[in-house]
Every structure is written in C-alpha cells, then in structure tokens.
Structure 1
Amino acid sequence: MRGLVPVVASFEKCAFVVEQDLAPGLAMNTVAALSMSVGRFVEGIVGDPVKDAEGRTHTGITAIPLPVLRGAAADLREIVLKAAALPDVFVVDFTAVAQSSRSYDEYTDRTAQVATGDLPYVGVAVCGSKSAVNKLTGSLPLYR
C-alpha cells in the first residue's frame, strides 16, 4: 500500500476538478486515475450490489454525487493546498508528472524533485461534507 492508510469516513460528496486545457483523452485519464484512488481509500463510497427485475445482480456504483468540474491550473493548486489543511476532507491529486511517467517508480522519483506548490496539477479529487466540497469547488463550472 506504499505507506498510505485507508480513509475510514462517511463523505457526502466528492468532486473531481480537471485542468481546463487538457485534451479530452487526458482529462478522462485524469478522472479515471483519481477515481481509482478515491474508490480504494474512501470506505463506503461504493454502494451495495443492485438486482434488476430478472434477479440479475449489478455491481454497486458510487453512492454519492461525483461532479466533474473544470478549472485553471492555479485553481487546482489552490484546491490541493487548501484541502490538505482541512482535517475532514480527503484529497487526491494528479499531476502532469504522474501522467507523463512510464512507471510508478519513475513517478515517485520525479515527484520527489518538486516542491508541493510547484507540482503541475492536472486534476484533483476532494471528498467531504457537501459544504466543505462546495466551498473548495463551488465556483467552478462543470466539465462539458
């Protein structure tokens, strides 16, 4: 698990913010990568399996809202730094360093060379109460 501890919390909302100038394919990749981390480390975010009218079971999906928003690089940096200071908010960031690395070891090595405030953020996921998530992301438009 590379030193991370699973978050055990009940969140009301998670928002994903993607850097507004990313190409659509890179934006989708960013949200997918962030979603994997949120799904792994935020307990209870995925609902129970659901049965249809024929009794067939469908794997559970997210049980809370997950808006995908757009923001400038400066917005993402501000969200990452502010969210990290809030004890009741879970944050996952995704950088251009991660997106351009060919292995996790390369990503780890390259990230170790850059200060937090200088990382080139291309996406961030923030989970918490509706009010906390809205305070961090509420002014940003939906990704369209």
Structure 2
Amino acid sequence: MSLQAEAQSSIESEAARKSERCVIVVDAALAPGKASNAAAVVAFTLGQRHSHLVGAPLRESDGTAHPGLIPIGIPVLKATTEQLGELRQKSLAHCDVVDFPVQGQATTDYDAFLDAVNALSGPSLQYLAIGLVGPRNRIGKLVGGFALFA
C-alpha cells in the first residue's frame, strides 16, 4: 500500500470512529466486582467485533510502543434488569448488540454457560450487561436516559 493510500485509509478510519458511539450498560444492582467483570466481558467482545475502533499505538519519546486504545471512549452506564432487556430488544434493529446473560456469572465452565442459555428461550433471558456500537445519534437516543455506573 502506498503512503498516500495509507494516509487516506487512516483518515477514513478516523472519520468512521467519530461517527460511531460505543457504550456499555450494566445492571445497577451488581456488586462492583461483578459489574466490572460484566463490562469487561462485553468490552472484550466489542473490541473483537469492531477492531476499527482501536486507535493508533501510543508511543513514548524513546519509541517504546503501547497498544492503541479506543479514542472515542466507552461510557459505562447503569440500568435495571428490566431496562436492560428492553434496551437490548430496542437496539437490535439499530446497532450491533453484545449481551451478557446472567448465566455467564453462574459458572466458570463455558460449556455449562452455553448449555444454560441454550435451555432458555430469548424472552426468558436476563442480562448483566449490554454493549452497543452504532451511529452516534442512534446510540444517544437509545441510552439517553441512563446515568453513569458509579
């Protein structure tokens, strides 16, 4: 790829990042450790699905490099269990949704987690956290009433 093509690609990636928003909404009733875990699980999957959101590597003055971070930030908001289910349902048609069902913190065995979710129908699932990535204005409308998780 030529230097000019690389520069253009970088400009296009930056423009795409600025037009998108990424948020995570966590069950307000969770203890801090459980809430942090739920947000981390969702963030990890969002990062894998939206690698274009990761910025350029950070470089120290001596050239030491650090991995790039997300330059648009990720607000972590809070909601009730009921609100999480409603948010997930409303969001599916408008943006990418990564959800973390409650069964995920009931076991450390991923196969048991898969089996537990598989035994339920969609409407009966409850969520610990929901991650959303999509158009800035659409995400803002979906999560506008939620406060920061504190």
Common fold by TM > 0.5: yes
Instruction: List per-residue Cα deviations over 1:47-96 (Å, max 9, x = no partner).
Output: 1212122222111011222100000111100111111122xx11000111
1:92 aligns to what? 98
Q: For residue 102 of structure 1, report the CA deviation from its aligned partner.
A: 2.4
Match of 1:74 among 82, 99, 110: 82
Match of 1:52 among 60, 70, 74: 60
The runs of at least 4 aligned residues of structure 1 exceeding 3 Å deviation read: none
1:130 aligns to what? 136
Amino acid at match of 2:87: I
Q: For residue 115 of structure 1, report the CA deviation from its aligned partner.
A: 1.7
Q: For residue 104 of structure 1, report the CA deviation from its aligned partner.
A: 1.5
Match of 1:24 among 7, 23, 32: 32
State the TM-score, normalized to the length of structure 1: 0.87
| Structure 2 residue 108 is matched with structure 1 residue 102 | yes
Which has the larger helix fraction? 2
Identity of aligned pairs, percent?
31
Amino acid at match of 1:73: T
CA distance in 1, matches of 2:87, 2:50: 19
Amino acid at match of 2:48: R
1:111 aligns to what? 117
State the TM-score, normalized to the length of structure 2: 0.84
Amino acid at match of 2:131: A
Which one is further off, 33-42 or 10-19? 10-19
2:8 aligns to what? none
Does the residue aligned with 1:28 lie in a helix, a strand or coil? helix
Aligned residues: 133
Which one is further off, 42-51 or 29-38? 42-51
Q: Which sections of structure 2, spanning at least 5 residues, go unmatched?
A: 1-15
